[in-house]
């Protein structure tokens, strides 16, 4: 990644509770992004967001990406919290 490219960007990441999605949450957050972590597992998302710190740059949004209404709600919550979405990264699998 280009150093500081994510600084102050709002990044919406699906599949954020494990694997590549989780790694991306930690990476872009470490680069200074505001992060919306999206996945089905509320407890896993809460753990991940809490591990990042207390500065309110990351939010956990339990969402089933197979449900269009839930995805729309997560997008809306992200915009309400951070004002916009600059980058969306999809790492979620659909069963």
Q: pLDDT tens digits, residue range 32-79?
A: 999 999 999 999 999 999 999 889 999 999 999 999 999 999 999 999
- Domain with 58 in it: 10-90
Q: In this structure, what token pair is assigned to residue 60?
A: 């956990």
Distance CA 48, CA 92 (A): 16
So what's the pLDDT on residue 63?
97
The two beta strands, 34-39 and 58-62, are: parallel
* Residue 1 located in a structural domain: no
Q: What gap in Å lies between CA 76 and CA 7, rounded to an integer?
A: 22
> pTM here?
0.93
In a domain, residue 66? The reply is: yes
Question: Does a structural domain hold residue 71?
Answer: yes
33 within some domain:
yes
In a domain, 53, yes or no: yes
Per the structure, the count of domains in the chain is 1
* Tokens (6 digits) for 52: 């990042």
pLDDT at 4: 84
What pLDDT, in 10s, does the model give residues 4-35? 899 999 999 999 999 999 999 999 999 999 99
pLDDT: is 3 or 48 the higher one?
48
Tokens (6 digits) for 13: 């990441």
Determine, yes or no, domain membership for 3: no
More confident site: 42 or 3 = 42
Residue 34: give its domain's CATH number.
3.40.50.720
């Amino acid at each position: 990644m280009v150093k500081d490219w994510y600084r102050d960007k709002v990044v919406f990441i699906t599949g954020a509770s494990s694997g590549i999605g989780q790694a991306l949450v930690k990476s872009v957050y470490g680069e200074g992004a505001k992060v919306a972590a999206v996945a089905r597992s509320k407890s896993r998302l809460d753990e991940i967001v809490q591990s990042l710190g207390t500065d309110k740059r990351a939010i956990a949004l339990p969402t089933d990406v197979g449900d269009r209404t839930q995805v729309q709600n997560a997008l809306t919550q992200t915009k309400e919290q951070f004002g916009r979405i600059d980058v969306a990264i999809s790492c979620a699998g659909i069963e």
